[in-house]
Structure 1
Amino acid sequence: NVSAIDEFKEDFYHKDLYELTAKAGLCVVIPCSFTNADDFTPKHIIWYKCERPKNCSGAPIIFHSNNKNSQPGFEGRVSRLEPDVSQKNCSIIINDLKESDSGFYQLRVTGQVNGKKNGFTFNQTVTVSVKGLKQKPTVMIPTLTEGQQATLTCTAPGLCSGSVPQITWTWRGAGGTESYITGNSTAFKTESLTDVTQRHVSTLTFNPSAEHHNTNVTCKIHFTGEMTTEKTSGLKVNITGVTTVRDSEALNLTCNVHSFPPSLIIWSKLGSNEKLHTDPGSANLVITNVTAGDAGQYVCTAKYMNKRLKDKVNVTVICEYTALDRIYFYCCPLAIMVTAFIFNVLKELLMTFQTPSSLHLTCWSRGSSSSTMLSFLIVYCESFRPQYICEHYQNKDLYMLDMQNQFISCIIFI
Structure 2
Amino acid sequence: MFVLIWATLLFSVRGSNAGASMRERQYCPYGRYCITLTDGEITAEAGLCVVIPCSFTTPDSFTTKHIVWYKCEPSKKKCDIIFHTNKNNINLQTGFKGRVSLLESDLSQKNCSIVINDLTASDSGSYQLRVNARTGGFTFLSRATVSVKDLSQKPTVMIPPLTEGQQTTLTCTAPGLCSGSVPTMTWMWRRIGENDSHITGDIMTENLAVVTQRHSSTLTFKSSAEHHGTNVTCKVSFTGDTTTEETVTLNVTCK
TM-score by length of 1: 0.52
1:198 to 195, 213, 224: 213
Any conservation in 1 of the 2:48–2:179 contact (CA below 8 Å)?
Answer: no
Any conservation in 1 of the 2:186–2:198 contact (CA below 8 Å)?
Answer: no
Indicate the residue corresponding to 2:123 in structure 1. Answer: 101
Structural mapping, 1:44-123, within 5 Å: 44-52=66-74, 57-67=77-87, 68-69=89-90, 70-112=92-134, 117-123=135-141
| CA offsets 1:336-358 (integer angstroms, 9 cap, x no match) | xxxxxxxxxxxxxxxxxxxxxxx
1:187 Cα offset (Å): 3.1
Tell me the distance in 2 between the aligned counterparts of 1:195 and 1:33.
18
- The amino acid that maps onto 2:180 is G
2:148 to 130, 133, 145: 130
Indicate the residue corresponding to 1:228 in structure 2. Answer: 243
Report which of the two structures shows the higher radius of gyration computed on alpha carbons. 1
Change (3 A) 1:221 1:161: closer
Structural mapping, 1:18-37, within 5 Å: 18-37=40-59
Indicate the residue corresponding to 2:234 in structure 1. Answer: 219
SS of 1:100 mapped into structure 2: helix
For structure 2, which runs of at least 5 residues remain unmatched after alignment?
A: 1-29
- The amino acid that maps onto 1:202 is S
1:171 to 180, 184, 189: 189
Could you tell me the percent identity over the aligned residues? 62
Are 2:142 and 1:143 aligned?
Answer: no
Any conservation in 2 of the 1:161–1:196 contact (CA below 8 Å)?
Answer: no
Tell me the distance in 2 between the aligned counterparts of 1:83 and 1:217.
43
Are 2:7 and 1:7 aligned?
Answer: no
Structure 1 runs, 4 residues or longer, greater than 6 Å off = none
* RMSD (Å), alpha carbons: 2.0
For structure 1, which runs of at least 5 residues remain unmatched after alignment?
A: 241-414
Any conservation in 1 of the 2:101–2:114 contact (CA below 8 Å)?
Answer: yes
SS of 2:244 mapped into structure 1: strand
| Greater per-residue helix proportion | 2
Tell me the distance in 2 between the aligned counterparts of 1:197 and 1:66.
24
| CA offsets 1:373-397 (integer angstroms, 9 cap, x no match) | xxxxxxxxxxxxxxxxxxxxxxxxx
TM-score by length of 2: 0.84
Change (3 A) 1:98 1:161: closer
- The amino acid that maps onto 2:161 is T
| CA offsets 1:172-223 (integer angstroms, 9 cap, x no match) | 1111521147xxx943210111111111011111111111101110000010
Q: Which has the higher contact order (CA 8 A, sep 6+)?
A: 2
- The amino acid that maps onto 1:167 is M
Indicate the residue corresponding to 1:248 in structure 2. Answer: none
Structural mapping, 1:285-296, within 5 Å: none
Tell me the distance in 1 between the aligned counterparts of 2:109 and 2:32.
16
Tell me the distance in 2 between the aligned counterparts of 1:56 and 1:45.
22
Tell me the distance in 2 between the aligned counterparts of 1:119 and 1:57.
20
2:177 to 154, 159, 166: 159
Any conservation in 1 of the 2:47–2:179 contact (CA below 8 Å)?
Answer: no
Tell me the distance in 2 between the aligned counterparts of 1:216 and 1:146.
17
- The amino acid that maps onto 1:8 is Y
1:19 Cα offset (Å): 1.1
Tell me the distance in 2 between the aligned counterparts of 1:24 and 1:58.
26
1:57 Cα offset (Å): 4.4
Deviates more, 1:229-238 or 1:117-126: 117-126
Give aligned pairs, total: 226
| CA offsets 1:215-250 (integer angstroms, 9 cap, x no match) | 11000001011111000001000112xxxxxxxxxx
- The amino acid that maps onto 1:88 is K
